[in-house]
């Protein structure tokens, strides 16, 4: 009776579904957040002054749109900020000048418009702001707006994390529930009259099937990603049963593939912005694929893997 009480009910499947649905809803929330916080840049011709309506408080850039289309005319200028040009920003409600700061090396390329941020300022409140770019230089386009690329990158990483964690947790719960219920069914109706050698052979076959499933989930993980989590959940649930058998090396191999691959993937993503991350991610993918293929072939040949 005590063992039966520990058998997970079908409600755990429902919980997994709720978690997956919650992840989808959360990703939708991220999309809504991006939509509500997105502000298109407001272009204007300089030398000149433009009143800008800012919807949200926060940091804004003054962009030098050195290649841009404005009011039906194409403007092509040097990327460098015009010599002797001056920028000023004034909040209309208070008449106070807004402090300007360096924008660093921020640039944007949308295809039709190429821009480089020449200054940035902080709008303490939404409202009207007068932006002036003065000096003696041929007419060119400037604009005021946020760096939308950073917003989209942040939203993309957030959405990926929500999907990865949400669906990963859902698959882990569903996989754990399935395995525990299967074990309970086998314990209630064990195979008929197997000798010791026969039982060991049956156990090896069952563990080999689980190892095969994990390799298949790891292969799918290169396309879906979250199936890697389902695979490592199976590894941990069945690892103790594999102890002392030749299949123990495969479970250990699969677990190390997952954790080391995850570690180097995180490092690669963190280094993407300095370009080193891309080759790190490529090499990590190649290394993981090599381990999956080598392990699967050894499994089919009935061979253990090195420690």
Q: Does residue 139 contact residue 47 with C-beta atoms inside 8 Å?
A: yes
Proportion of the chain above pLDDT 70, given as a percent = 89
Task: Note whether 204 and 161 are same-domain residues.
Answer: yes
Bridge partner residues of 145 (DSSP) = 61
Task: Note whether 52 and 165 are same-domain residues.
Answer: no
Both tokens assigned to 162: 């929500």
pLDDT score of 186: 67
Task: Show the domain range for 50.
Answer: 42-145
Sequential DSSP letters for 181-242:
HHHHHHHHSPPSS--HHHHHHHHHHHHHHHHHHHHHHHHHHHHHSTHHHHHHHHHHHHHHHH
Rounded to two decimals, the pTM is 0.50
Name the DSSP class of 97. B
Is residue 118 domain-resident?
yes
Q: Is the pLDDT of residue 2 over 50?
A: no
Instruction: Give pLDDT tens digits for 193-235.
Output: 444 444 445 667 888 889 989 988 888 887 778 889 899 999 9
Characterise 193 by phi-psi region: left (phi > 0), alpha (psi -120 to 50), beta (else): left
Is residue 249 domain-resident?
yes
Q: How confident is the model at residue 149 (pLDDT cuts 50, 70, 90)?
A: low
Task: Name residue, tokens 């005021």.
Answer: 144
User: Which residues, at least 6 apart from 192, have a Cβ–Cβ distance to it below 8 Å?
Assistant: none
User: Rounded distance, CA 158 to CA 165, Å?
Assistant: 11
Angle, alpha carbons 108-112-115 (nearest 5°): 30
Task: Note whether 47 and 98 are same-domain residues.
Answer: yes
Is residue 34 domain-resident?
no
User: Rounded distance, CA 91 to CA 118, Å?
Assistant: 19
User: Rounded distance, CA 110 to CA 115, Å?
Assistant: 9
Is residue 114 domain-resident?
yes
Q: How confident is the model at residue 21 (pLDDT cuts 50, 70, 90)?
A: confident
Instruction: Give pLDDT tens digits for 257-287.
Output: 999 999 998 898 888 766 677 788 888 888 8
Task: Note whether 181 and 278 are same-domain residues.
Answer: yes
User: Rounded distance, CA 173 to CA 23, Å?
Assistant: 15
Going by C-alpha positions, the residue among 166, 250, 264 that lies closest to residue 212 is 250
User: Rounded distance, CA 246 to CA 294, Å?
Assistant: 16
pLDDT score of 203: 67
Is residue 28 domain-resident?
no
Task: Note whether 291 and 156 are same-domain residues.
Answer: yes
Query: H/E element holding 173?
Result: helix 148-188
Going by C-alpha positions, the residue among 98, 94, 85, 90 that lies closest to residue 130 is 90
User: Rounded distance, CA 161 to CA 104, Å?
Assistant: 29
Sign of CA pseudo-dihedral 167, 172, 175, 181: negative
Task: Note whether 136 and 215 are same-domain residues.
Answer: no
Is residue 22 domain-resident?
no
Q: Does residue 184 contact residue 7 with C-beta atoms inside 8 Å?
A: yes
pLDDT score of 182: 67
Q: Is the pLDDT of residue 54 over 80?
A: yes
Number of structural domains (the chain) is: 2
Task: Note whether 50 and 75 are same-domain residues.
Answer: yes
* 114, 145, 176 - which closes a domain: 145
Mean pLDDT, residues 277-301: 84
Task: Note whether 108 and 165 are same-domain residues.
Answer: no
pLDDT score of 270: 84
Mean pLDDT, residues 70-82: 90
Mean pLDDT, residues 86-106: 90
Going by C-alpha positions, the residue among 75, 50, 76, 72 that lies closest to residue 62 is 50
CATH classification of the domain holding 119: 2.60.120
User: Rounded distance, CA 269 to CA 282, Å?
Assistant: 11
Task: Note whether 93 and 220 are same-domain residues.
Answer: no
pLDDT score of 268: 85
Task: Note whether 62 and 114 are same-domain residues.
Answer: yes
Going by C-alpha positions, the residue among 218, 295, 298 that lies closest to residue 259 is 218
Task: Note whether 76 and 51 are same-domain residues.
Answer: yes
Q: Does residue 87 contact residue 103 with C-beta atoms inside 8 Å?
A: no
Instruction: Give pLDDT tens digits for 157-188.
Output: 887 788 778 777 877 787 777 777 767 766 76
């Amino acid at each position: 009776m005590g063992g039966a009480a520990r058998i997970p009910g079908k409600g755990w499947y429902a919980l997994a579904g709720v978690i997956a649905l919650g992840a989808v809803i959360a990703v939708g929330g991220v999309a809504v957040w991006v939509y509500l916080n997105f502000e298109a840049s407001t272009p204007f011709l300089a030398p000149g002054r433009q009143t800008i309506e800012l919807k949200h408080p926060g940091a804004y850039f003054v962009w030098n749109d050195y290649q841009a289309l404005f009011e039906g005319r194409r403007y092509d200028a040097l990327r460098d900020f015009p010599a002797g040009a001056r920028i000023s920003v004034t909040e209309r409600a208070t008449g106070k000048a807004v402090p300007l700061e360096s924008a660093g090396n921020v640039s944007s390329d949308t295809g039709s418009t190429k821009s480089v941020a020449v200054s940035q300022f902080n709008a303490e409140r939404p409202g009207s702001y007068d932006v002036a770019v003065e000096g003696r230089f041929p007419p060119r386009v400037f604009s005021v707006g946020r760096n939308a690329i950073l917003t989209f990158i942040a939203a993309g990483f957030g959405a990926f994390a929500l999907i990865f964690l949400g669906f990963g947790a859902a698959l882990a719960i569903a996989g754990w529930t399935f395995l525990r219920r299967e074990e309970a069914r086998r314990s209630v109706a064990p195979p008929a009259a197997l000798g010791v050698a026969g039982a060991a052979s049956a156990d090896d076959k069952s563990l080999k099937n689980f190892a095969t499933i994990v390799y298949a989930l790891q292969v799918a993980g290169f396309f879906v990603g979250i199936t890697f989590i389902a695979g490592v959940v199976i590894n941990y649930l069945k690892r103790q049963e594999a102890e002392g058998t030749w299949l123990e090396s495969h479970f250990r191999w699969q677990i190390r593939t997952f954790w080391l691959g995850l570690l180097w993937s995180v490092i690669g993503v963190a280094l993407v912005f300095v370009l080193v991350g891309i080759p790190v991610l490529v090499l990590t993918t190649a290394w993981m694929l090599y381990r999956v293929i080598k392990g699967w072939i050894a499994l089919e040949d009935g061979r253990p893997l090195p420690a």
